[in-house]
Structure 1
């Protein structure tokens, strides 16, 4: 490493890294003591109880008092704190469909209050992507919708509510991941829209977030040929320059996880980290469940890049300064009840209003209808956790559905031909509950089945679907 200690310290300070397991390992405590910039909590770090989160955050604070603590808590489908019972608040698609800015602001505040009570400084949300492509495998119901103006209004309101509780928002995924059909965790998606469309559609919600005072913005690992045909957005100075120069953003730019294929598949995480910093990223999210040795490898790569003149010291110093300027939540304040600040009835009413009921529901009274879940893996951003009603049985995607009256729970059936084939083959009576994006009835459009589109998972939506099905006679 460089003989200049400050460079090595700065190279540690710009990393938001993550270990495996629910307790802080000694070598990670040493990294924090040496000045590691922050810890991002992922699923393997969380046991499902607020008390355990508080204990873990306290351990991080004790080892590195100035380190940021971050996680993804979007509400709806993406929750790290409520995987056992589903999020207590609706997600973005529900809120966008209802289009009540006061409710969106209140939901953001409820999330912020809970995170602040646990000592979380930075929430990696909300999603500002315009989900204009219904085949999007990674955004979907995490988006406030397909209309840029509506998405922008709700992003700004959610940010306002969250940050009013002392938790910094990190709006994502710049310049916009909504018009893609690939998952950047697994490959490098391409946003093929021309530059004027990108500016009018993708950038509009980010402009609203910047105007609303968002503390941070997260990049996306996708290629936008109209803006930079050679580099993913995270590693592209022209793309990130739009955020700084056109939108006037002066906060911290956070990379999406650099272990994702869209960033590092062809170059490795340490090199991706160097390129991201050089392009304009400030805080480097490394990814979940990593060894402490990787943090040191990234640190060494940054130092070497500075020594070689590939990364200006001024750029590294600027990144560290922007991270230091991010607000901190003020430490642990005692846990609060989930969803505090918003009445459960108000959330349930919103979820019910967002439900799209297509076709007349069959009379399920006395039909002995069973609830069947079709097992499909959630995308990596959502991860494992409670979704939908408690099922009577589960079938694998592609297996025939059992005989008799059924309520069949699916996620993004329009993207899964094997699921559509099973729906098409069942004679009914059958109610399809779509917990994913309300896409077309591809492959089963001729079937007479009723469909309930929830526009996302979460306790309020589960309650709404339960009520709808009870009105149809389902005894649950």
Structure 2
């Protein structure tokens, strides 16, 4: 029989296998390398880890553990990790949903898969398949394909198919649906107030479609869904994680939690307790986006999981099953394409040719309240960009916006950034000056943006409004919506404003 120290070592490796952790810096710190040598199952890359060649980071990780899953959030559009420094080469889900061309969605995901595969990423925390039923949702919005369950379902399946054809595992999120909420789960615990019948008709079809398409992973959201479990958050609920997802929907792949440092769950219990209880409920991998400087929280979770098995709180068979699913995903990804296919680039802008074409097609222009002829900018305008602090899923503010795209075509373009705390309207010029260009993101959700728009249009009725979030009520002389704020969306809007 194996001795006690051997069993302790085996439990420690099983416990390490189910953790997917982030770290600071562009070089894996010593504690990550030690954990990898001890069986750490996954590492999550963020923009903060990307400087130069991200493949070099991945190679260093695999020197310590060739089997490690390397994950990233690469949704396209607003949420990008590998292209965070320059802006995404592909419009996001809202723009793709507006086009409703499933073949284009599949091709888009395939190109994103090529980028990831060339880097060595094996798991993409995408697509977002939430049905954005509430336009006031602060965290989903343009990350969703739309508000129609059928549309979201068919594009979810197409995205999964395109990505996984490149040997990168897709991860549909945020089960059982984060679209009809008005709380950001990074900050507090959202509640999904929907009957079981409504969940079946609206929120679950995209997940069923993803499962039918062979999705390798699903990420659960940190939500309260009383119709499914009145007592526990979804992450800790066996009714949701096992009874619904496994038994009713038939999903047998990797079930990963959303990041457990999010306030929706971390405000209620410690990370070690979350990890143990989530595994008991049916999770296979615990996502830890933010780790302590020396990895102390990761070590604490590993020890808590192994300790829970030893004291009977967590069945060893459940932990072994979870670690087995981690290994199965590694084996699946190892059999895919090597990532040698290049993404065809537009020669002028150096972005995906397909992505730019999609961004151009997604533009929607309607007459605003001023209803004048479409302006064609021939001289540098002032661009007024209204911004709010991006939510945690996005990271920093988009680095390349409409002002930069316009300045490349009309040198001298001026940019003024307004925020919730500082939004005094600047001088706007007068008759004979180019019309000001006002950029908003989800103006329908922000009263201060609407007040600024009212004041700008009072002074300059010829102002052009560019909505780079969800489209709202048209205003301005012309109202142009892009369906998102990717790099290619900004380029397409700048072309539209200057091309005639």
TM-score after normalising by structure 2: 0.88
Aligned to 2:415: 393
Determine whether 1:295 maps to 2:303: no
Cα distance per residue 1:44-70 (max 9 Å; x no partner):
1112x3x2x011000000011111111
Determine whether 1:44 maps to 2:48: yes
The 5-angstrom pairing of residues 40-189 of structure 1 reads 40-47=44-51, 49=52, 51=53, 53-189=54-190
Determine whether 1:372 maps to 2:384: yes
User: In 2, distance between residues paired with 1:131 and 1:346?
Assistant: 25
The 3 A distance-change label for structure 1 pair 19 and 331 is farther
User: In 2, distance between residues paired with 1:295 and 1:432?
Assistant: 47
Shift of 1:439: 3.3
RMSD: 2.3
Q: How many residues align?
A: 464
**Does structure 2 retain, via aligned residues, the 8 Å contact 1:388–1:435?**
no
The 3 A distance-change label for structure 1 pair 32 and 301 is same
Aligned to 1:414: 444
Shift of 1:396: 2.5
User: In 2, distance between residues paired with 1:461 and 1:161?
Assistant: 21
Aligned to 1:444: none
Aligned to 2:454: 424
Cα distance per residue 1:74-117 (max 9 Å; x no partner):
11111101112211112111111111111111111101111111
**Does structure 1 retain, via aligned residues, the 8 Å contact 2:166–2:337?**
no
Pick from 451, 469, 485 the counterpart of residue 436 of structure 1: 469
The 3 A distance-change label for structure 1 pair 335 and 381 is farther
Structure 1, unaligned runs of 5 or more: 442-446
The residue matched to 2:174 in structure 1 has which SS? Answer: strand
User: In 2, distance between residues paired with 1:339 and 1:329?
Assistant: 25
User: In 2, distance between residues paired with 1:470 and 1:366?
Assistant: 6
Determine whether 1:321 maps to 2:354: no
Aligned to 1:285: 287
**Does structure 2 retain, via aligned residues, the 8 Å contact 1:119–1:330?**
no
Aligned to 2:432: none
Cα distance per residue 1:270-313 (max 9 Å; x no partner):
11111110110001101134331111100111122222222111
The residue matched to 1:382 in structure 2 has which SS? Answer: coil
The residue matched to 2:255 in structure 1 has which SS? Answer: strand
Shift of 1:340: 6.3
**Does structure 1 retain, via aligned residues, the 8 Å contact 2:93–2:145?**
yes
Shift of 1:362: 5.1
Aligned to 1:383: 395
TM-score after normalising by structure 1: 0.92
Aligned to 1:12: 16
Cα distance per residue 1:384-441 (max 9 Å; x no partner):
1324213522232241222233101121111111111111111222111111112346
**Does structure 1 retain, via aligned residues, the 8 Å contact 2:21–2:287?**
yes
User: In 1, distance between residues paired with 2:342 and 2:292?
Assistant: 31
Structure 2, unaligned runs of 5 or more: 405-413, 430-434
| Larger deviation, residues 378-387 vs 137-146 | 378-387
Aligned to 1:460: 488
The 3 A distance-change label for structure 1 pair 365 and 465 is closer
The 5-angstrom pairing of residues 252-291 of structure 1 reads 252-291=254-293
The residue matched to 2:67 in structure 1 has which SS? Answer: coil
Determine whether 1:357 maps to 2:359: no
The residue matched to 2:284 in structure 1 has which SS? Answer: coil
**Does structure 2 retain, via aligned residues, the 8 Å contact 1:119–1:332?**
no
Once superposed, which parts of structure 1, at least 4 consecutive aligned residues long, lie more than 4 Å away?
329-346, 364-368
The residue matched to 2:219 in structure 1 has which SS? Answer: strand
Pick from 239, 244, 251 the counterpart of residue 253 of structure 2: 251
The 5-angstrom pairing of residues 178-217 of structure 1 reads 178-217=179-218
Cα distance per residue 1:134-192 (max 9 Å; x no partner):
01111111111111111010111111011001001111110010111110010000000
Shift of 1:372: 1.9
Aligned to 2:26: 22
